[in-house]
Structures are given as structure tokens and as C-alpha cells.
Structure 1
Amino acid sequence: MREALIVWGGWSGHEPEQCATIIRDFLEQDGFKVYVENTTEAFADPSIHDLSLIVPIFTMSKIEKEEVSNLTAAVRGGVGLGGFHGGMADAFREAVDYQFMVGGQWVAHPGGIIDYRVDIAKPDDPIMEGISAFPYHSEQYYMHVDPSIEVLATTRFNGDHAPWIDGVVMPVVWKHRYGQGRVFYSSLGHVSSEFNVPEMKTILRRGLNWAAR
């Protein structure tokens, strides 16, 4: 049986506990044995090297050196890493090794909660299969990204809230390798109610399954 660890915490505005419960439920439906922790100390446990998947939901906050060292080593060794929105890509802002592993870092969401569109960059990828461009109402993440990531979906900024980025096309969903580990990320999912958007939930669910060894 595949085993997954969800570690939630950090800024409460992203509803990490509620999101952890949703992800736990669908991973269990997909055949995972799921462990849930709410402290970064879980990342320092040597047993995480035996997992199939780790899902961080921990916006901002701090991570200790030994915690990030063990986590990145586990993923380099083949453990999958997957997550969404600020819970994965705005976590541990001072930990550059963590950001290198994720493949990107949030830097802004001009306009706050707005309407925008998600475009599919790789419709033939199994994670995106059958999903067409769709409207979305949430934070439109502007990110600094690793040029080596494989971009699966994008969004275009219209410049209404930051004119100097008018027309910029930004990755929304990506995957890449970190050592032997598979890493998946989606910037969708500001709060738990966004899991009611079928495209958002389907993309994340498929992506987490892809990441898991």
C-alpha cells in the first residue's frame, strides 16, 4: 500500500486543516494509507524516506535546518512531493533549498481575489487529460519559477492591477524532477471551498497520484 504524509499548519487564512481533511479523504479513496501531522517536526523523521508521497500545507512559517535537510533528501531519494497554492509554494520563505525543490515561489497576487482564466499548456499530459481552459475566481498567483519545470497550465495577467505585467503568461500547474523524486504543484486553491471547482480538484488529485512513487 502506498503511504502519504500530509503536514499542515502555518497561516490560518488558507484553511490548512480543512484542506488537509479533503486531501486525506481523496488519497484514502485512491488507496493510500495517510498520516496527518500539524508540525514541521514531522519532516525531520527518518521514516519519511519510506513514504510514497509528502503533501505540505504550511503557508509561510519557519522550518528548522534539520527538517528541510531531511525533507529534501527524502524527495531526492525518490519520495514524491505534491501540493498547492501557498501551502506548498509560499512556505518557509527563508529556506532556499526548499524553494529549489518546489520549483517556484509566490511573490504577489495583484488585485487579490479576482476573476481570471486557466489555460491548458499540455492537454495530452495525463494530469490534464479532458480538461479545457476554465474560468477561476481566486488569487492569481504571480510567481518566480525554475525554468526547468514542465508547465501543464498557465494564466495570463491583464495588467489591471499591475500595468507593468500586462500580458505576462505565468505557470499555474507544473511538474518536475528533484533527484529521483517527482514534484507536482498547482497554484489553485486559496481556501477549501475551491475544491468544489471540478477542474481544480481533478488536477490536484491526479498530480498527487503522479508524484507518488
Structure 2
Amino acid sequence: MKEALIVWGGWSGHEPKECADVVGAMLEAEGFKVFKENTTEAFADPSIRDLSLIVPIITMAKIEKEELSNLLEAVKGGVGLGGYHGGMGDAFRDQPDYQFMVGGQWVAHPGNIIDYTVDVTRPDDPVMEGIPSFPYRSEQYYMHVDPSNEVLATTRFNGDHAEWIDGTVMPVVWKRRFGKGRVFYSSLGHVASEFEVPPMREILRRGLLWAAA
């Protein structure tokens, strides 16, 4: 049986506990044994190197040096890492080594909650197969991203809320490698209710399964 660790915490506005429960149920439905912790101390446990998947849901917050070091080594050694929105893409802002592993870092969401379009750019990829481009209402994440990411979906900014980025195309969903580990990220999912949007939920479900493979 595959085992997954969900570590939740950080900024409460992203509803980390509620989202951890949703993701945990999703993984349990796929046959995972799921462990949930609400402290970064869980990352320091050497046993995480035996897991199939780690899901951080920890916007902002801090992580100790030994906790991050063990997490990095676990993923380099082959443990999958997967997550979404600020829970993974805006965790540990002062740790560039963490950002190097994730492949990006949130920097802005002009206009806050707005309507925008998610454009599927790799319909041939198993994570995106059968999912057409779709409208979405949430924070449209502007991120600093790693050019080595394998981008699966993007969004285009229209400049209504920051005219200097009009026309900018920004990755929304990507996957990458970090050592032997598979890393998956989706910027969708501000609060737990967004899991009720079918393409958002399905993309994350498939991405987590890919990361854990």
C-alpha cells in the first residue's frame, strides 16, 4: 500500500485543515494510507524517505533547517511531492532551496478573486487528457517559475489590475523532477470549496498520483 503524508498549517485563510481533509479523502479513495500532521516537525522524521508522496498545505510559515534538509533529501531520493496554490507554491518564502524543488514561488494575485481562463497546453499528457481549457474564478497566481518545468496549463493576464503585465502568459500547472523525485504543482485552489470545481479537483488528483508513481 502506498503511503502519503499531508502536512498542513500556515495562513488560515487558505483553510489548510479543511483542504487537508479533502486531499486526504481523495488519496484514501485511491488506496493510499494517509498520515496528516499540522507541524513542520513531521518533515524531520527520517521515515518520510519511505513514503510514496508528500503533500504540503502550508502557506507562508517557517521551516527549520533540519526539517527542510530532510524533506529535500527525501524528494531527491525518490519520494513524490505534490500540491497546489499557496499551500505548496507560497510556503517557506525565505527558503530558496524549497522553491528550487517546487519549481516556482507565488509573488502576486492582481485583482484578488477574479474570473480568468485556464488554458490546457498539453492535452496529450495523462494529467490533462480529456480536460479542455476552462473558466475559473479565484486568485490568478502570478509566479516566479523555473524554466525547466514541464508546463501543462497556463493563464493569460489581461492587465486590468496591473497594466504592465497585460498579455503575460503564466504557468498554472506543471510537473518536474527533483533528483529522483517527481514534483507536481497546480496554482488552483484558494479555499476548500474550489475542490467542487471538477477540472480543478481532477487535475490535482491525477497530478498527485503521477507524483507518487
Matched, 1:145 2:134: no
The separation in 1 between residues aligned to 2:153 and 2:166, in whole angstroms, is: 18
Distance 2:73 2:146 in 1: 19
Equivalent in the alignment of 1:200: 200
CA distance in 2, matches of 1:83, 1:157: 23
Aligned partner of residue 170 in structure 1, secondary structure: strand
1:168 paired to 2:178: no
Aligned-pair RMSD on alpha carbons? 0.4
CA distance in 1, matches of 2:210, 2:2: 12
Size of the aligned set, in residue pairs, is: 213
Any stretches of 5+ residues in structure 2 without a counterpart?
Answer: none
Q: Could you tell me how far 1:209 is from its partner in structure 2?
A: 0.2
Q: How does 1:88-167 map to 2 (within 5 A)?
A: 88-167=88-167
Give the aligned partner of residue 189 of structure 1.
Answer: 189
Deviation at 1:194, TM superposition (A): 0.2
Deviation of residue 118 (structure 1)? 0.2
Q: Which residue identity is paired with 1:87?
A: G
How many Å apart are 1:158 and its aligned residue?
Answer: 0.1
Listed one character per residue, the Cα deviations across residues 93-143 of structure 1 (whole Å, up to 9, x for unaligned) are 001110000000000000000000000010000000000010000000000
Counterpart of 2:117, as a letter, is: R
Secondary structure of the 1:211 match is: helix
> Aligned partners of 1:73 and 1:98: how far apart in 2?
11
Q: Specify the code of the residue in structure 1 equivalent to 2:43.
A: F
Q: Where in structure 1 do 4 or more consecutive aligned residues deviate above 6 Å?
A: none
Aligned amino acid, residue 94 of structure 1: D
Structure 2 SS opposite 1:114? strand
Percent of aligned positions with the same letter in both sequences?
A: 78
- 1:59 is matched with 59
TM-score (norm 1): 1.00
| CA distance in 1: counterparts of 2:185 and 2:142, whole angstroms | 14
- Report the counterpart of residue 209 of structure 1 in structure 2: 209
Q: CA deviation at 1:43?
A: 0.3
* Post-superposition offset of 1:189: 0.1
The alignment's TM-score, normalised by the length of structure 2, stands at 1.00
**Paired residue type of 2:23:** I
1:27 deviates by: 0.2
The residue aligned with 2:10 is 10
In structure 2, distance between residues paired with 1:137 and 1:188: 9
- d(CA) in 1 for partners of 2:63, 2:3: 23
Query: For residues 127 and 60 of structure 2, what CA distance do their matches in structure 1 show?
Result: 27
Alpha-carbon distance in 2 for matches of 1:19, 1:61: 17
C-alpha distance in 1 between matches for 2:99 and 2:26: 26
Give me the whole-angstrom Cα distance separating, in 2, the residues matched to 1:67 and 1:121. Answer: 35
- Structure 1: tracts of 5 or more residues without a match: none
